[in-house]
Amino acid sequence: MKMLLIVLVAAGIGFTAGYLIVGSRPLSAPAQIIIVQTNTSKKSLKLEVPLRRKMAGPTSATATGAPTTVTGPNPREILERLEQTKLRPGPEQSQNIRRVIQLFEELTDCGPAALPGIREFLARNLESDYEEDTDEIRSGWRDGMTTDFLLPPSLRLGLLRTAQRIGGGDAEHILVDVLNSTGRGVETAYITRLLEEIAPQKYKEAVLATAHELLTRPALTGELNRLDRRDQEWLFGVLRLYQDASFAQQAQARLIRDDGTVDSSALGYLNDALQGKSVPMLTLAYQDNRLTNNGARFQIAYTAVRYVGVESAADQFLQTVLEDPKNSGDMMSELIRSLSERGLENRREPSDLDLQVLAARQSLLETFLVGHPKFKRTEDLTRTIRLIGIMRSPTASKPKER
């Protein structure tokens, strides 16, 4: 059975069954280290509980306080069954998947009467990672994050979604309370989506304060489950959602890892938040002696060249890359070829702005070719110049998509 959901990140790690205690940060607690372990003794999380963050904007919802009457299925019994149902690989896995889906539907049908039990369960900070335990859905959220799914990625995320589906002030209050206390990037990102569906932009400042804090002072360390391994990517995704460029300097500082590779989440954030204005930062990263990984060099260069013909810094960056003897011929060929397609609004039918960009790129390549007659990728330069010329001609047949 497949989950109908999209993901911010790719994950492809094996699976481990059982519950774990997830990171949360009591708002009134001073900074301290808490070591917690799972009941399988195979996982542990080391959690640093930071000081209370100073939230900007609204940080709490107004609970209705309306009494709840339990009729029909008992929500606490449903929660207990959800907690006890494991999705470990085996002959009963498919049946248990169906059971979990049905239990979440039954819990939603309980309406507001389910909210006190959901709140209490979330406060216990227990988690069961359905992604980790289910081979058939292990592809995960690969293209972005959505709030809609058949089988939730985890028990806690499923309960958060259930609260949102029930709706009302009490449900919104539950989401905000978890946002204010969580130490997990995935919960921050997911609650952000849920709150945006309820009240667009209402909690923007509170969400950004949480994301900034967790990026600056990560709460989760140690052996993490699948959802938490991509913690930083979830958080950068929140900044990208709101087009928040205020974390750019911190992202630049962490762009190059200790092993000489690039932090892809920081790179993607800088590209989205600053766009062409990120090129000076990318230039500094490219010239950094710590950048020893050839793939990482290409990653930064490939990000920057999309702004060639738009930003003068990108034009200079391209020349620096093409003149760099450390770069392989294949890398330079790929970068040169990308100039006929990257950063354009419509490659098949270039807009007026695209035509201006293409003209600038063609002139830049022609000038470089004249000044570097012995360039080892002259053929690629010539081919790309010719292709751009065809794209700029209104009467010429357009090149086929590769």
In angstroms, the CA 272 to CA 249 distance is 14
* HEC assignment per residue over 145-186: CCCCCCCCCEHHHHHHHHHHHHCCHHHHHHHHHHHHHECCHH
CB-side neighbour CA atoms (13 Å) of 256:
19
| Model confidence pLDDT, tens digit, residues 213-247 | 999 998 876 778 778 888 999 999 999 999 999 99
In angstroms, the CA 268 to CA 240 distance is 9
In angstroms, the CA 391 to CA 355 distance is 8
- Give the three-class secondary structure for 251: helix
CB proximity list for 180: less than 8 A, separation 6 or greater: 27, 53, 55, 59, 60, 206, 210
Which whole number is the average pLDDT over 182-193? Answer: 94
Domain boundaries defined on the chain:
1-244, 291-402
CB 314 within 8 A of CB 283: no
Residue scoring higher pLDDT (12 or 347): 347
**CA 374 vs CA 320, 377, 388: distances in Å:** 16, 9, 22
- Give the three-class secondary structure for 330: helix
What pTM was estimated for this model as a whole? 0.77
pLDDT of residue 6: 32
By CB neighbour count within 10 A (0-12 exposed, 13-18 middle, 19+ buried), where does 245 fall? Answer: middle
Q: Which of 301, 248, 300 is nearest to 273 (CA)?
A: 248
| Model confidence pLDDT, tens digit, residues 20-76 | 556 555 443 323 323 233 333 333 333 443 433 444 345 556 555 555 554 568 999
Helices (H), 288-373: 294-304, 312-322, 329-338, 352-371
pLDDT of residue 5: 35
The one-letter code for the residue type at 236 is F
Tally of CB atoms within 10 A around 328: 11
CB 364 within 8 A of CB 314: no
